[in-house]
Amino acid sequence: MARHAGSPSEEPDPAASDAGAVRLTARVFGVVQGVGFRYWTMGKADELGLSGEVRNLDDGSVALVAEGPQWKVHELREWLNSDRTPGRVERVEDSISEADGTFRGFNAR
């Protein structure tokens, strides 16, 4: 099971409006390259209607930035920390900040 290294946050309110978008910036460690992790992450983000990108880093980890409504970003965060991801996630380091609208759609690089 994945271990979350970010700071705890409040539970989202799924009934809340889409106003107040947030940005999740995460780095995922473990066996996450060469196992389809980026493409599964892109699919999950698309399913949630999030924008952003996911990419492999030279050290074997994966970097992720996703923006959207808080409750949808929280759902992606929960998925990253679950046993439903491909490969073997050992640790997720993440932070939540205000979205800046940089991205259109979600891409894997």
Catalytically active residues, by annotation? 38, 56
Euclidean distance between the first and the last CA atom of the chain, given in angstroms as a whole number? 26
φ, ψ of residue 42 to 5 degrees: the values are: -60, -40
E strands within 9-105?
A: 22-31, 51-56, 62-68, 88-98
